[in-house]
């Protein structure tokens, strides 16, 4: 079974939720080297205005791409991956607190994990344009849950040796882990930044 983000109406301009900016700022400030490093990376990306006035609405996906390229250029792949993973975890916390109703979470936790996973990923697919931007999100539910993002906003004009979408992997992991249990892990096995045709995330529990 495959569900694409085209099921939901897309805005005319490719945009993405502001968490991709605001949580990166938090992660840069807390584990990335402090406020000075955060300001340095945002300045390199030409996005200093976001620090003065954090975005609260959808933002151009190109801004997210610029921020991640700047982080890799200034801090290197490994350090950026750690920061991006923390930003993704923070985004997952936000989604659980503000976007996924508590009652729905409680109901899903009572279901068999395979069924809960199918329901949750289908809901994610319906709203995929909020994180996929101009890209396309699809999934396969069997033999294991696999997520694919073609046209990842993070990977635009980015070339790395290792998969670069730790932000998305950590966001998926935090949300799915809350519903399906602490043994769940999400691993990016393919990435457009390394030359793959799409970013692929394997969900295992």
Beta bridge partners of residue 138, listed in sequence order: 148
Is pTM beyond 0.85? Reply is yes
Say how many C-beta atoms besides its own lie within 10 A of residue 43's C-beta: 13
DSSP, collapsed to helix, strand or coil, labels residue 46 as: coil
Q: Which of 160, 165, 156, 204 is nearest to 188 (CA)?
A: 165
Residue 189, SS3?
Answer: strand
pLDDT (0 to 100) of residue 142 = 86
Nearest-angstrom CA–CA distance, 17 and 63:
11
- Asked if residue 98 has pLDDT above 50, the reply is yes
Least confident of 6-10, 71-75, 140-144: 6-10
Mean pLDDT of 108-112: 97
CA distances from 140 to 14, 84, 117, 137, 171 (A): 24, 25, 11, 11, 18
Q: 149: pLDDT confidence band, cut at 50, 70 and 90?
A: very high
Burial of 2 (0-12, 13-18, 19+ CB in 10 A): exposed
Q: What is the pLDDT averaged over residues 159-164? A: 98
User: Stretch 28-44: mean pLDDT, rounded?
Assistant: 97
Per-residue tokens: 200: 């692929």
pLDDT exceeds 60 at position 6:
no
Average pLDDT over residues 88-115: 97
At 12, the pLDDT band (50, 70, 90 cuts) reads low
Query: 16: which strand partners?
Result: 59
Average pLDDT of the residues in 36-60: 97
Q: Does 17 score more than 60 pLDDT?
A: yes
Average pLDDT, integer, range 166-171: 98
The whole-angstrom separation of Cα 20 and Cα 156 is: 14
Tokens of 84: 């991006």
Tell me the mean pLDDT in the region 33-60.
97
CB atoms closer than 10 angstroms to residue 63: 20
Of 191, 198, 169, 155, the residue nearest 66 (C-alpha):
155
Mean pLDDT of the chain: 94
């Amino acid at each position: 079974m495959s569900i694409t983000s085209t099921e939901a109406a897309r805005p005319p301009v490719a945009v993405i939720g502001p968490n991709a900016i605001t949580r990166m700022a938090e992660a840069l400030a807390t584990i990335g080297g402090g406020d000075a490093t955060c300001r340095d990376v945002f300045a390199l990306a030409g996005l200093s205005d976001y620090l003065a006035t954090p975005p609260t609405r959808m933002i151009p996906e190109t801004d997210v791409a610029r921020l991640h390229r700047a982080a890799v250029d200034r801090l290197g792949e490994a350090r950026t991956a750690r920061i991006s993973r923390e930003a993704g975890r923070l985004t997952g916390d936000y989604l659980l607190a503000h976007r996924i109703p508590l009652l729905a979470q409680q109901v899903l936790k009572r279901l068999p994990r395979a069924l809960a996973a199918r329901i949750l990923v289908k809901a994610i697919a319906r709203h995929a344009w909020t994180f996929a931007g101009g890209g396309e999100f699809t999934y396969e539910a069997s033999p294991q849950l696999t997520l694919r993002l073609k046209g990842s906003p993070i990977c635009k004009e980015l070339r790395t040796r290792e998969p670069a979408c730790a932000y998305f992997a950590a966001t998926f992991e935090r949300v799915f882990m809350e519903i399906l249990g602490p043994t769940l892990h999400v691993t990016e096995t393919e990435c457009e930044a390394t030359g793959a045709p799409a970013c692929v995330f394997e969900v295992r529990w």
